[in-house]
Amino acid sequence: MNADSTAPFGKSSASDPLILIVDDLPENLAVLGNILRDEGYQIAVANCGPQAIKIASSRKPDLILLDIAMPDMDGLTTSCHIKENPETADIPVIFLSARTDSVDVLKGFKAGAVDYITKPFKAGELLVRVSTHIELKRSRDQIAKQKAALDNLLETRKKLFSVITHDLKSPFAGLLTLINVMVECFDSYSTEEFKDSLSLIKETSDNIHSLMQNLTHWAKLNTNAIEYSPRTVNLLSLVKSTFGPLSINYLKKNIGLYINIPEETTLFTDPDLLRVVIYNLLSNAGKFSHHGSYVSVDYTTDATGPCITVTDSGTGMPQRQLDSLFNGGSVVSSPGTANESGSGIGLLLCREMIEKAGGSISATSEPGKGSRFIIRLSPEN
């Protein structure tokens, strides 16, 4: 029997638990393999400690049956190496040995074993113990997944509360104050004053609406309510349609938008995810650009795949701020060149959206000279 082999026959299938059997005697490997295959388990085998360590790291079996008495590296030492590796530490190990002395058994448990079966073993006892420890491992894995999901939900809630407190409370308070003043002083308002107040209400409402959209997208993303659904899309059309709602803001500051994307450019990606990312980048570019400046959107390809860049000639930012832009641990916003309000949630959302699509996002910037945001999509896009 060849080492590191997985039996394709019997009752086993790719979804069945994988058991690594480690023994220096081929006849023992054969007996154990036949018993376990008949019960539908997948089997991998190793005839020495170093080989077992390598297979455990690469294959991540659900259980290891490990003989203690092996030459060169015994089972105790092998188990210690497996348990020292964080990637294999959680794999349960059952020792197989003819030794029944309590001292030997204790050594086995200290080396990381979850159980100890003495030779010669009974097939029924072996199968019961194997089944028990595989079920225990599956239960632990499920609990770990549920804990990770719960931690993610708690972190998302924490960030949402942070944004709501920091970025929604203030504009809502200002909006309510302005409306109350308009109601109380309605009769004394001139047409121009009334128009100015309505414009301010509209601008504040637009900012709140934009933030609420980002929060909704972000919450759905972090609760896995958004699936990656790629299809072929025309990039130029997507960018133009995404820019539409922002055109008025650009017009107010006389900011020019230059789109350098060939008309025939298509990408195989999720258009909804990409649209959210480009919207946020164009919104930020306009927010931090000076009156009369420009923003450009460019498309290139290189060895790493498709690349979309959004460049502005605005305020820029120092390296310290640049380093924390996509940091999930904090949500920070800064006022724009016309004192526009906003939320740091947008860039965090961009990073998570692009990672969902299998890509990445990065930025370069220089204070007083502007910023450039680079979206890199995976080559298959």
Strand partners, 234: 266
- DSSP letter, residue 61: -
Q: Is residue 201 part of a domain?
A: no
ω before 379 within 30° of 0 (cis)?
A: no
53: left (phi over 0), alpha (psi -120 to 50) or beta: alpha
Q: Which tokens go with 12?
A: 């086993």
pLDDT of residue 272: 83
Q: Which helix (H) or strand (E) holds 80?
A: helix 75-84
Neighbour count for residue 119 (Cβ, 10 Å): 13
* Boundaries of domain holding 310: 227-381
Query: Is position 74 within any domain?
Result: yes
> Do residues 371 and 233 share a domain?
yes
Question: What percent of the chain is predicted at pLDDT more than 70?
Answer: 82
Asked if the model's pLDDT at residue 225 lies above 80, the reply is no
Pair type for strands 42-46 and 360-366:
unpaired
Local confidence band at 2 (pLDDT 50, 70, 90 cut-offs) = very low
**The domain that contains 71 carries what CATH number?**
3.40.50.2300
Question: Distance between CA atoms of 360 and 304, rounded to whole angstroms?
Answer: 11
Domain assignment present for residue 26? The answer is yes
233 and 373 together in one domain: yes
Residue 189: what pLDDT? 83
Domain final position from 105, 121, 137: 121
Query: Judging by DSSP bridges, how do beta strands 63-67 and 266-269 pair with one another?
Result: unpaired
Residue ending a domain, among 60, 90, 121, is: 121
Bridge partners of residue 335, in order along the sequence:
none
Q: Is residue 198 part of a domain?
A: no
Give the contacts of 224 (CB within 8 A, at least 6 positions apart): none
The answer to whether residue 175 sits within a structural domain is no
Inter-axis angle of helices 191-222 and 345-356, nearest 10: 40
> Locate tokens 């980002």: which residue?
214
Question: For residue 320, what is the domain's CATH number?
Answer: 3.30.565.10
Q: State which amino acid sits at residue 238.
A: L
Q: Are residues 103 and 240 in the same domain?
A: no
pLDDT band, residue 228 (cuts 50/70/90): confident
- For residue 115, name the pLDDT band (cuts at 50, 70, 90): confident
Distance CA 241, CA 236 (A): 9
- Residue carrying structure tokens 């949402």: 160
Q: What is the pTM of this model?
A: 0.52
Mean pLDDT (whole number) for 164-183: 74
Q: How far apart are CA 132 and CA 140, in angstroms?
A: 12
Report the distance separating Cα 374 and Cα 381, nearest Å.
Answer: 16
Backbone angles phi, psi at 291, to 5 degrees: -60, 130
Mean pLDDT of 257-262: 96
pLDDT classification of 7: cutoffs 50, 70, 90: very low
Res. 329: pLDDT tops 60 = no
358-376 average pLDDT score: 91
Residue 150 included in any domain = no
Rg (CA), the chain: 31
Q: Please say whether the beta carbons of 334 and 296 come within 8 A.
A: no
User: Which of 121, 144, 172 is the C-terminal boundary of a domain?
Assistant: 121
375 shares a domain with 245: yes
How many structural domains compose the chain?
2
pLDDT at 8: 38
Parallel, antiparallel or unpaired: strands 231-234 and 266-269: antiparallel
116 and 105 Cβ atoms separated by less than 8 Å: yes
Provide the residue type at 333 as one letter: S
Cα–Cα distance measured from residue 20 to residue 95, given in angstroms and rounded to the nearest whole number:
12
* 66 in a structural domain: yes
Average pLDDT value for the chain: 82
Same domain, 113 and 245: no
The reply to whether 129 falls in a domain is: no
* Greatest Cα-to-Cα distance within the chain, rounded to the nearest angstrom: 100
* Residue 9 CB neighbours (<10 A): 6
